[in-house]
Chain A
Amino acid sequence: MDGFSSPPVGGKMDSATREQLMSQVKQQIALANAQELLQKMSEKCYKKCIAKPGTTLDNSEQKCIAMCMDRYMDTWNLVSRVYSQRLQRESSRMS
């Protein structure tokens, strides 16, 4: 994030620098969200699929984890759909 030339007086940055800064921030946000999802997914699917941790991740456990990941993604999408429908409902009621 360093290495930006200091913006001219008045707090205005030139637009190229600004664009670069904002796209870097967006990338970092996307990365943080992906990490959060991965971390939650691992935790939830470990809990569902690994009852007794053996010496390897066996075939049935791998299948279970794969399935679980897909359903977790589905759940994530469903939750965000329901939430955004709710937000729309409430904002139309307010106006």
Chain B
Amino acid sequence: MSAALQDPVVQQFVARETQKQRFQGLIHEMTGRCWDTCMVNPGSKIDTKTENCIRNCVDRFLDTSNFVVNRLESTPIPETTPKKSGFLFG
């Protein structure tokens, strides 16, 4: 099995499938969250209001995730080197 992982074609396959699975996992996650947020009463079809809610829910979830990453990237790393006088070192 470990020898299979040396094979370049298999390596590529694994990388691609891992990426695909990340998308899939996110879809499962967002479906669950947006269902809880938007679905009041499952009727005979998804009505317009619910559909819009789900669309917004997905887009805002992704916005939030992007925002968090961007903000962390653009914020200078705070001085976290512990000063020797903190309560951990006092």
Contact = CB atoms under 8 A, between A and B. Distances in A.
Given A79-B31, A79-B54, A82-B55, A29 B17 contact: yes
Interface residues of B, number: 36
A48 B58 contact: no
A80 B45 CA distance: 17
Chain A at the B interface: SS class: helix
B26 interface: yes
Interface in A5-46: 6-7, 11-13, 18, 21-22, 25-26, 29, 33, 36-37, 40, 44-45
B54 A75 contact: yes
Task: Kindly name the residue among B9, B41, B42 whose own CB sees the greatest number of chain A CB atoms within 10 A.
Answer: B42
Interface footprint category on A: 35 or more
Interface of A: 1-2, 4, 6-7, 11-13, 18, 21-22, 25-26, 29, 33, 36-37, 40, 44-45, 48, 64, 67-68, 70-72, 74-76, 78-80, 82-83, 86-87
11 contacts: A2-B1, A18-B7, A18-B9, A40-B32, A48-B41, A71-B39, A72-B31, A79-B31, A79-B34, A79-B58, A83-B23
10 A-B pairs with least C-beta separation: A11-B6, A71-B42, A68-B42, A82-B58, A79-B31, A76-B31, A80-B27, A13-B7, A7-B3, A79-B30
Interface of B: 1, 3-4, 6-10, 13-14, 17, 21, 23-24, 26-28, 30-32, 34-36, 39, 41-46, 51, 54-55, 58-59, 62
